[in-house]
Homo-oligomer: A and B are copies of this chain.
Amino acid sequence: MASPSAKNVRTEDRGPTPLPPAKRKLADAMRRLLRTKDFNSITTAEISRTAEANEALIYRYFKDKRGLLHQVLYDYLLDFHMEIQGEIQAVPSALDKLRCLVRAHIRMYDSNRVFAKILLLEVRNFPAYFESSTYRLVKGYGKMVSRIIADGVQSGEIRDDIPVPRIRDLILGGIEHFCMAAVIFGHEISVALAADNLSDLLFKGFEKN
């Protein structure tokens, strides 16, 4: 399914519904395979073999091969959201929130290369992704960033002469490009340093003075 089926997600009234074992195995297999191969060169036969599940189950539990990819990304994104929310919740000022978010975001990409690879390299070339509920989660994250920025503008911490979406684009674009090469070539990222540099640049600009 393009949208992860609600049935396989915890519900508060009836308790957790256990996932079909094969569904989890398939998602795990996809994650494992993505560590060493790109999505396009992973075959359905390979996925089912790695998962030790029948190939047709891919199509029972997901719309298609890409649906499986979207599901994997969806799961990562839920974690990502929780993590980020938890980190910035207690932080009072908007600028500090953003500084914190930049670090957490980079750390997430660094410690979870498959997640970064899917989000940065593997989904965007597929138009239907942008109709998926997985993309809706990504958009939600963008809106959260925008809200923080808007709060900062309100409180006088952030310039009010540039539209909020532009500021958000620069932040997210900066994070992505900071991590892109490392993700593609498998280099390590010095998270603290990169985050400090990026936040500093974002806040103060690179013009001298």
Contacts of A204 in B (CB 8 A): 204-205, 207
Bin chain A's interface residue count.
Answer: 35 or more
> Chain B contacts of A38 at CB under 8 A?
125-127
A122 sits at the interface (CB 8 A): yes
Q: Which residues of B contact A180 (CB under 8 A)?
A: 169, 173
Tell me if A's interface is mostly helix, strand, loop or mixed: helix
Chain B residue nearest in CB terms to A164: B206
Determine the chain B residues whose CB is within 8 A of the CB of A198 once the complex forms.
166, 170
Which chain B positions have C-beta within 8 A of A170?
Answer: 170, 173-174, 177-178, 198, 201-202, 206
| A185 CA / B169 CA spacing, docked (Å) | 16
Known contacts A157-B208, A158-B208; can you find 15 more A-B pairs with CB under 8 A?
A40-B40, A120-B124, A156-B208, A157-B207, A163-B197, A166-B194, A166-B198, A169-B174, A170-B198, A172-B177, A173-B177, A176-B177, A202-B206, A203-B205, A204-B204
Select which of B39, B176, B178, B203 is within 8 A of A166 by beta carbon. B178
Return chain B residues, CB-CB under 8 Å to A172. Answer: 177
Let me know if A95 is at the binding interface, CB within 8 A. yes
Query: A184-205 CB contact bits vs B (8 Å, 1 = yes)?
Result: 1100000000100110111111
Question: What are the nearest 3 A-B pairs in CB distance?
Answer: A173-B177, A205-B205, A173-B173
The distance in angstroms between the C-alpha atoms of A208 and B149, with both chains bound, is 12
- Known contacts A125-B122, A203-B205; decide if A175 and B173 are in contact (CB<8 Å): yes
Please give the distance in Å from A67's CB to the nearest CB on chain B. Answer: 15
Q: Smallest CB–CB gap between A68 and chain B, Å?
A: 16
Q: List 19 A-B contacts (CB under 8 A).
A: A40-B40, A40-B126, A121-B124, A122-B125, A130-B185, A159-B206, A159-B207, A160-B208, A166-B197, A167-B201, A169-B177, A170-B202, A170-B206, A172-B177, A173-B173, A174-B174, A176-B176, A202-B206, A203-B207
Chain B's closest residue to A200 (CB) is B162
